[in-house]
Amino acid sequence: MSPAPALDEPPGLAAWPPREGVSAAHGPALLDWAADTSAGRPRVCLLRGARGSGKSHLLTWFLLGPTGHARTTPHATIPSAGLFTDAFAWELGRQLGYGPLAPDRLLERLTADQRPLLLLVPDLHLAGRGPADRPSAQPSVLVRDLLVPLLRLPQTRAVVEVGDTDLLDAWPGTESIDVGDTPHDGYVPPAGAHCAEDLTALVPRSDDGRPRWDLAPEPAREHALDQALLSPDTAHTVRALLTDPGFLVHGSAVSVAACLADERILTPPGLREVWRTAAPQLSDTAHSTTQRAALLHTAALGASPTLARYLRPLADQHLFTAAWARPDAPVTALTPMPGDRGQLLAADPLGALTLLDPATGADTAAVDSPRSVRPDGVAVRRDGSLLLLTDTGALQPVTPESEGTAAVVLGHIASHHGHLTLRHPYLRPTALGQCPHSGTTVLGDEQGSVHLWTLDTYHPNPRSQTLHKAPITAVTCLTPPGDRHALVMSAALDGTVRLWATSADPLPDPVEQRPAFVTALASAHSAYGPILAVAWNDARLHLWHLATGRVRALPLLTRCRALSLSPDLRLTIAGPDGTYALRLDAPRLWDQLTN
């Protein structure tokens, strides 16, 4: 969340657009409430009025005012019509910069983030989605399960449109603005108001009679499933939509999610698991058709192979296409093994180490390691010996013999940082990365420094450099062919990403800084030049073309704790929700490089 900077005094009425009608009558009262954050003023302002009375006009007028003042600039505006609890949380998390989160995780983040929060909630009385007899269809459930817990946070203030309902009447200490019950001259019925007509009849058909949802009007895409739930033959009409890949790509992700929450509704095998994974991202209306297809295809690979086959041709048109997905494989650390086979070494939350086939994601062999160790990072020597970064910040060497070069080199690295941590706890290692297919590894610590070591030969001390002013969360490095110097890339809790070519001083400024933090980094030399992959905790993935500084942003389907990037641009994404691999389409990603 990025609140607007606070100024001494909020702007006056003259800074807002000219007032007329409802805004003339009630705008001063709304602005007076927003500008007054004193302890005695209620933190909730209820906007009341009948349908068409001008409530939306008043909110629009308020939103068109000047930005830049913490008291009167909303941090999020969540139009609630047709949203149920989960969908409301996804959109609120997106607008606050957290990414789409489940309600419980969103509340955890906001409880920890105690900055002032001003919400605008239009159309709360029109919230709800799914079968009419299910809780998700009732706006009161959204109020009980999410909105009230949000309002209990002392930093939260909210303007909530409740229509002519009694929603939030029981909330202690509210202020109300009642715009009346007379429709104003500019009233326009909402887009979903024509539910009486058969929306599926508006959908064009192919020569063989299949619905062309890609050509369907927006009302049909958005409300066809809502209408099907009200039809006399609900089971047949709903199933026809849920078994149509075209509708799943183009239809309302929120409507499908609310429908699938009803266990009474029969669905194709695996569809509920697919939607549970994909719906938070699919609910973002900014995604293109091919991006929706690619996300759905990725989720389907691990739960519904039949659906994945249908989606593959459309997914292939996107910047990425999933090669495989394993929701059954949670991972805390990931690195490519040395050699030509390209195998991946993965650590699970219990500390077990496994080799994965990069082409299929299948387990190929178990790797011996101390079962008491739970790795958060791993580096591999050419002989297969390991250096593990544990979840306590300690380094653990794993070698086949207690003597020899591997034991001496890895043991020295571990003891070096162990002794440093004992004397200076702020130097505790927090991240471990490796230059692909080389013997160079890099450590990051709580102070914001990076330490470069070689795993092949003994050196008494690392090459170190302070790059950040906050604990480092992820590191990676590249060694250019034929060059003894390395390019180190690191990220820290302050949201910065830094680059350091060890042949020179670090760049003075971060290459990127965002109001989020990086959870994983990976890099590789490709035919298009060096590429850096950056996973952020707001469900975004940034792909940097380092030679030009150009970046492409992609959505992350699941939480990411570890990344691996191969020279042919196969990106493996791993975390507590499983592991999946994407084939990145280099010409589409970097088409501007050849134009």
Q: What is the pLDDT along the chain (595 residues), one digit of tens a residue?
A: 544 444 457 788 888 898 889 999 999 999 999 999 999 999 999 999 998 888 989 999 999 988 888 889 999 999 999 999 999 999 999 999 999 999 999 999 999 998 999 999 999 999 999 999 999 999 999 999 999 999 999 999 999 999 999 999 999 989 999 998 766 655 454 444 444 458 889 999 999 999 999 999 999 999 999 999 998 889 999 999 999 999 999 999 999 999 999 999 999 999 999 999 999 999 999 999 999 999 999 999 999 999 999 999 999 999 999 999 999 999 999 999 987 678 999 999 999 999 999 999 999 999 988 878 899 999 999 999 999 999 999 999 999 887 889 999 999 999 999 999 999 999 999 999 999 878 899 999 999 999 999 999 999 999 999 999 999 999 999 987 766 789 999 999 999 999 999 989 998 899 999 999 999 999 999 999 999 999 999 999 999 999 999 999 999 999 999 999 999 999 999 999 999 999 999 888 887 554 3
Q: In the sheet that 487-492 helps form, which strands lie side by side, from edge to edge?
A: 472-478, 487-492, 496-501, 512-513
pLDDT at 192: 44
pLDDT at 58: 94
Tokens representing 233? 């033959």
pLDDT at 279: 97
Helix (H) or strand (E) holding 434: strand 429-434
Number of helical H runs and strand E runs in the chain = 15, 28
Half-sphere exposure of 105 (CA within 13 A, CB side): 14
pLDDT at 184: 61
What are residue 552's phi and psi, to 5 degrees?
-120, 135
Matching residue, tokens 């009025």: 49
Q: Which of 251, 252, 239, 254 shows the shortest CA–CA distance to 213?
A: 251
Question: Domain residues of the chain, as ranges?
Answer: 13-180, 194-318, 329-585
- The fold of the 329-585 domain, in CATH, is Methylamine Dehydrogenase; Chain H (2.130.10)
Q: Kind of pairing, strands 540-545 and 440-445?
A: unpaired
Q: Which of 378, 379, 291, 296 shows the shortest CA–CA distance to 333?
A: 378
Question: Would you say the CATH fold of 329-585 matches that of 13-180?
Answer: no
pLDDT at 590: 80
Q: Are 337 and 307 in contact (CB under 8 A)?
A: no
- The fold of the 13-180 domain, in CATH, is Rossmann fold (3.40.50)
Q: Find residue 450's DSSP bridge partners.
A: 444, 465
pLDDT at 4: 46
pLDDT at 594: 42
HEC assignment per residue over 489-546:
EEEECCCEEEEEECCCCCCCCCCEECCCCEEEEEEEEECCEEEEEEEECCCEEEEEEC
HEC assignment per residue over 195-244:
CCCCHHHHCCECCCCCECHHHCCHHHHHHHHHHHCCCCCHHHHHHHHHCC
